[in-house]
Amino acid sequence: MNPRAHHTPGLLLALLLAVSACGSTVDADYQGEPLLTLEGQMTLAPGTTINGPVRIALVWYSRWFIVPLTFLNAPPDSTAVVAEDYPYEGTFPANFRFHIYRPPQSASWVSDDGTENQLATGILIAYQDGNGNGKLDTIPPTGSPVDRVLGSTMVFNADVMHTLVYTNRARTLMPGMELKPGFNLLKWAGYESESLPLSEPIPLELSAGGPLMDLLVCQGLWDGVDSQVTGGLCGIPGLADPDAEEPPPEKVGLELDVTVKRRGDRAQVAVELKDGDTHFTVKDAQVTLGGRALTYNPKTWDYELLDADMAPLLDGGTVPLDIVWGGNSYHRPLTIPSSIGLTSPAPGSHVKLESPFEVRWTRPTADDESATFSVNMVEAFEAQAWMVETNQLSYNVTLYDRWVSAGPAILEFSLWASPIDDVPDMRIRIKTVLEVPITVDP
C-alpha cells in the first residue's frame, strides 16, 4: 500500500464521476439523520487505471475478534459477513462522506459474570458492481466472485489499516486501543496502533483488485465453511485454500536450535535438542562444540557453553558439532553467520520514551539470513520488537510508554540463518544474538 500515491487530474476526475454516478447525495427513501458520518479520500495505487463506475460499501464482520475474546467458537446464529451500501457524497479530489444510519448486526455472547456482550468489526470496501444490482454481493462458500473488489481500508500485509468496531461495552483490545460503547475507529500500525477520533479522515486506495481483495467478502473464510467447488475457497481464482495443511516435514532423528550470544570478545552458546519423532527435549545427550563439552541446564532445557572465544563463534565460520545420544553418534560442521556490529546506540546510551532514535548496524543481511531486533526491559516483562528488511542498515524506532517502561534495558539484535533441512538425520536452526545495554528514560 502506498498512501502517497500520485495520480493525474484526469484520473481523479474520472474516478469522481464514477463515484457520483453510483452514490447520490439525495436518497429517495429518506432514512433519517445518520448515526455517524465517516470521511475519507480515495486514491489510485501507482500504475492503476479504473474503468467504469466505482461504489463504496461498508462490510461488517460479526465474528471478527470473538474467538480471541471468548475462547469459544463464534455464535452459530451470527452472520459472518454483511455488506451494506449507504449514500455518500463525492467531491474533488475524490473525497467521500459515508453515512451510517443504524448499528450493525453484532455477534452476542454472555460472559461468565452474566454480562451480555455485542461486537462487530467493519471496513470500507470500494468495488465495481459486476451484475448491476446496486449492492456488494458477498461470496457464499460454494459460490464464486460476482463483484470486483478494488480497495479496502484493511488490506492483508499493509503497513497501516483502518477498521470500525461497534460494541456495547467499554473494553481494551491492546495498549492504546480502548473501545467505548458504540462506534469506534481504529488504526492498525504495529506499535503505533491506536483508537482515532471518528472524524479522522480515512484513506482508501484503489488497485486492480485480486484474490486477497475478493477474500474480504468470502463468507466461507469468516464462518469457517470450506468451499466445495473447484477453484478453492469461494471459487476465487488463484487463491489456495488457507485451511489446506502443508505436508509434514520429513522426519529426522534430532532437531537443534543453536543460539550464539556475542558479548565483546566472548560468546555464549545454547543448544536446544529435541527428539525428531516426539519433539520432546533430549536431556541425556553428550554434546560437544569445537571439542568443548556443553552442560545441560534443566532450568533452560538447553545445553550450554557459557564462556567461549572460538573465532567462528565470534566472527562467523565453521565449527564442528558432535552429539552422542540413544546409541547413535551425530557429526555436523556448523556454519555460523558472520558477525554484525551495532554502531548505534552505543553501549550505555540513554534513549527517551516517545522520542525516535536510530538503530544502525554494520552490514545488510544476506539472502539466506533474516534479522530482528528488540528492546527488552530488564526489570519488567516488557519489550518492543521489529523485523529487519533485506539490504536495510538502519531503522528509526520509537519506544511507547504503553508498551515499555523507563529503566535499564537490553537492545538485542538477532540474526537467523536459513534452517538446514538437508542434513541426514538432523534439522538445524542457527541464530546469533548481539546484546547492547541501554537505559530508557521517561
Domain assignment of residue 249, yes or no = no
Q: Residue 359: CB partners within 8 Å, gap ≥ 6? A: 342, 344, 345, 373, 394, 395, 396, 397, 411, 413
**Residue where one domain finishes, among candidates 310, 336, 362:** 336
> Which helix H or strand E contains 211, and what residues bound it?
helix 211-214
Q: What are phi and psi of 22, to 5 degrees?
A: -110, -5
DSSP string computed for 223-271: HTPPP-STTSGGG-TT---TTPPPPPPPP-SEEEEEEEEEETTEEEEEE
Query: In terms of DSSP bridges, do strands 171-174 and 317-325 run parallel, antiparallel, or are they unpaired?
Result: unpaired
**What letter does residue 21 receive in the DSSP assignment?**
H
Residue 7 reports pLDDT greater than 50: no
Residues 383 and 271 in one domain: no
Domain assignment of residue 240, yes or no = no
**84 vs 283, higher pLDDT:** 283
DSSP string computed for 101-113: -SPPP-EEEE-TT
Domain assignment of residue 208, yes or no = yes
Measured CA to CA, the distance from residue 220 to residue 228 in angstroms comes to 10
Residues 158 and 85 in one domain: yes
Largest CA distance in the chain: 85
- Would you place residue 63 in the very low, low, confident or very high pLDDT band (cuts 50, 70, 90)? low
**224 vs 127, higher pLDDT:** 127
Domain assignment of residue 89, yes or no = yes
What dihedral do alpha carbons 44, 48, 52, 58 form, nearest 10°?
-40
**296 vs 250, higher pLDDT:** 296
Name the burial class of residue 63, with classes exposed (0-12), middle (13-18) and buried (19+) by CB atoms within 10 angstroms of its CB. Answer: buried
Helix (H, G, I), strand (E, B) or coil at 307: strand
Range name among 249-258, 335-344, 431-440 with the lowest pLDDT average: 249-258
Domain assignment of residue 273, yes or no = yes
Residues 293 and 149 in one domain: no
Measured CA to CA, the distance from residue 438 to residue 377 in angstroms comes to 10
**253 vs 345, higher pLDDT:** 345
Domain assignment of residue 423, yes or no = yes
Residues 87 and 203 in one domain: yes
**Residue where one domain finishes, among candidates 278, 305, 336:** 336
Residues 106 and 70 in one domain: yes
Residue 23 reports pLDDT greater than 50: no
Measured CA to CA, the distance from residue 14 to residue 57 in angstroms comes to 19
Helix, strand, coil share of the chain (percent; to 5): 10, 45, 45
Residues 127 and 58 in one domain: yes
Residue 16 reports pLDDT greater than 60: no
Residues 207 and 266 in one domain: no
Residues 303 and 355 in one domain: no
Residues 292 and 187 in one domain: no
HEC letters along 363-406:
CCCCCCEEEEEEEEECCCCCEEEEEECCCCCEEEECCCCCCCCC
The C-alpha cell that represents 301 in the structure block: 532445557
Q: How many domains does the chain have?
A: 3
Measured CA to CA, the distance from residue 94 to residue 41 in angstroms comes to 6
Residues 329 and 356 in one domain: no
Which residue shows C-alpha cell 532450568? 299
Note the pLDDT tens digit of each residue in 157-212.
Answer: 788 999 999 988 888 888 888 899 999 999 999 888 899 999 999 999 988 888 88
Mean pLDDT of the 27-36 span: 72
Instruction: Give me the CATH number covering residue 406.
Output: 2.60.40.10
Nearest residue to 331 (alpha-carbon basis) of 341, 323, 339: 323
Residues 228 and 275 in one domain: no
Instruction: Give me the CATH number covering residue 290.
Output: 2.60.40
Residue 363's domain comprises 342-441
Percent of the chain surpassing pLDDT 90: 35
Residue 45 reports pLDDT greater than 60: yes
Residues 347 and 324 in one domain: no
Domain assignment of residue 247, yes or no = no
What dihedral do alpha carbons 39, 44, 160, 413 form, nearest 10°?
-160
Instruction: Count how many Cα atoms sit within 13 Å of the Cα of residue 38 in the half-sphere of its side chain.
Output: 26
Measured CA to CA, the distance from residue 74 to residue 62 in angstroms comes to 9
- Would you place residue 104 in the very low, low, confident or very high pLDDT band (cuts 50, 70, 90)? confident
Query: Which pLDDT score, from 0 to 100, does residue 22 have?
Result: 36
**Residue where one domain finishes, among candidates 235, 268, 290:** 235
Domain assignment of residue 241, yes or no = no
Mean pLDDT, the chain, rounded, equals: 80
Question: Is residue 124 within 8 Å of 88, Cβ to Cβ?
Answer: no
Query: In terms of DSSP bridges, do strands 182-188 and 194-196 run parallel, antiparallel, or are they unpaired?
Result: antiparallel
